[in-house]
Amino acid sequence: MSTDPSISRRRILRCGVLAGALSLAGCFADERAGVTSDDDPPEESAGGSGEERRDDGEKHRSPELPEGGAVVFVYDDGPLEDYTQAFPAHQAFDAPATVGVVSDWLGRPDYQTNGCMDVAHLEELVEAGWEVASHTTEHTTLGTFELLEDAYPGDERIYPEEIRHGYHRGKTLEIADDEHTLHRTVADYGSDGIGRYIELAEPVGEACAAGETRVRYPAEQMRASLRDSKRALERAGFAVDTLLAPYDNFDDYSREFVAEYYSGVANARHGSRVNDPEGFDPFYTRRDYFIEFTSPERVKADLDEIAERGALGVIGAHTFKEEVTEERIHETLSWVHERGISVLTLRDAIERCA
C-alpha cells in the first residue's frame, strides 16, 4: 500500500459497478453479477486422463458420462420453493438435483419469500436421490474485489468493485496489496455521491491505491464459512461433498480454501452452462441459470450442444423468484428428456468426470 499522502482520489469507471439497490433482498437478486476467475484450469487436471490406479498398480477407467451427455440442476439458497416447486417437477421425470443450502438459514421461516427448507424437507429430497451441497454458513461472498477509489489513512469508507463483504456487519475484512495487509471490522454498507461503499469500524490507517488494493475475507474467516457450514449440515445427517459459491463469486483465492473441504464447486466460472468432460476439473466448473437472465432459445441451444458432444451441463435457478415456477422447471426437464440427456447430481457428475 502506498503511504504517499498526496495520492489522488480518482474514479475508475467500471460498467454497472455502482448500480443496484441497497436492500439485502436487492443484493440477492443481483447475485448473477459475481466476479469469477477467467483463468484456465491447469493443463494436467486431476481427472484429465480418465484413469485411476488401483493399490495393486493396475489402471482402470474412471466412470464416464452417459453417451448422450448429462445435466446437473443446482438450486440456490435452500428456500421452501425448492421443495414445493422444483421437487414436484423433478419427480415427474424421476430426476435428481443438487440444492445449495445456507446452513444458518436451515428451517428459518423469515428468510426468502416463504422461508427455507428444514431437515425433514431435505431428508425427503435426499431419499429421492437429491444432493445437499454447502452454500456457506451465512451466504457470505468468497471472492476478491479491487478498490475503485483511493483510500486515505483517515477514511472509514472504502469503495470496492462489489460491496458484498459489507452485508455482514462485525466480520473481519482483509485489505491488502502486494506489500501490506490490514484487517478491519465491517460496520455497514451503503451508497453516496462517490458510489457504493463498505463502512469500516475504524479508519483504514494507511493510504490504499485503487486498482492495486484487494478486499476479501482473511483465511480464518474463509475457513469458518466453509468448514462450519459443512459440519452443520453433516450434523443434521447429510453427506456434504460439494459447494455452491454465493453470488457466483469464485476465484483463485477462494479455490485455495474450498479445496480443503470439498470435492468440487458448482459455479467456479459463471456465464456458461457447458463443461467439456475431457480434462474436467471440478474446481473450474461452469454454471449458468436456465430461467433467470436467459431465454428458452439459448437454453435449448446449449442442451443441443450437450447432447451432441456428450458434454456436462450445469444449470441453476433461484426458485423463490417469481419467474422460476414449477411449470418452467418442468418445461426445461422435458427439453432434457427429449434430447436423451441424463440428469445427475453434482457429486455424481464429479465422480464420473474427475
Q: Does 42 map to a domain?
A: no
Confidence class for position 265, pLDDT limits 50, 70, 90: very high
Instruction: Give yes or no for residue 308 having a pLDDT over 90.
Output: yes
Whether residues 323 and 189 fall in one domain: no
Looking at the structure, do residues 228 and 339 belong to the same domain, yes or no? yes
DSSP assignments along 152-213, one per residue: -TT--EE-BS--GGGGSTT-EEEEE-SS-EEEEEEEEEEE-SS-EEEEESS---S-B-TTT-
Residue 196 banded pLDDT, cuts 50, 70, 90: very high
Higher pLDDT, 239 or 39: 239
Pair 240, 92 in one domain: yes
Q: Do 86 and 201 have their domain in common?
A: no
With bands split at pLDDT 50, 70 and 90, how would you rate the model's confidence at 7? very low
Same domain, 338 and 301: yes
Query: Which residue type occupies 32?
Result: R
Kindly state whether residue 9 falls inside one of the protein's structural domains. no
| Nearest alpha carbon to residue 18 among 162, 140, 174 | 162
Q: How far apart are the first and last CA of the chain?
A: 40
**Is position 51 within any domain?**
no
- 101-129 pLDDT, tens per residue? 999 999 999 887 899 999 999 999 999 99
**What pLDDT was estimated at residue 63?**
56
Residue 52 lies in a domain: no
In the predicted structure, residue 264 carries a pLDDT above the cut 50 = yes
Query: CA 188 to CA 166: how far, in whole Å?
Result: 6
Range from 5-9, 166-170, 203-207 carrying the lowest mean pLDDT: 5-9
**Would you state the pLDDT for residue 111?**
84
User: Residue 313 sits in which domain range?
Assistant: 65-139+221-353
- Binned at pLDDT 50, 70 and 90, residue 252 comes out as very high
If you average pLDDT over each of 18-27, 54-63, 317-326, which comes out highest? 317-326
In a domain, 4, yes or no: no
Boundary of a domain, candidates 186, 216, 246? 216
Query: 137 to each of 15, 96, 235, how far by Cα in Å?
Result: 31, 24, 14
> Quick check: 249 pLDDT over 70?
yes
SS3 of residue 246 by DSSP: helix
The answer to whether residue 71 sits within a structural domain is yes
User: Is the residue at 114 inside a domain?
Assistant: yes
Residue with cell 455497514: 188
Domain closes at, from 177, 198, 216: 216
CATH label of the domain that carries residue 344: 3.20.20.370
Examine residue 3 and state whether it is found in any structural domain, yes or no. Answer: no
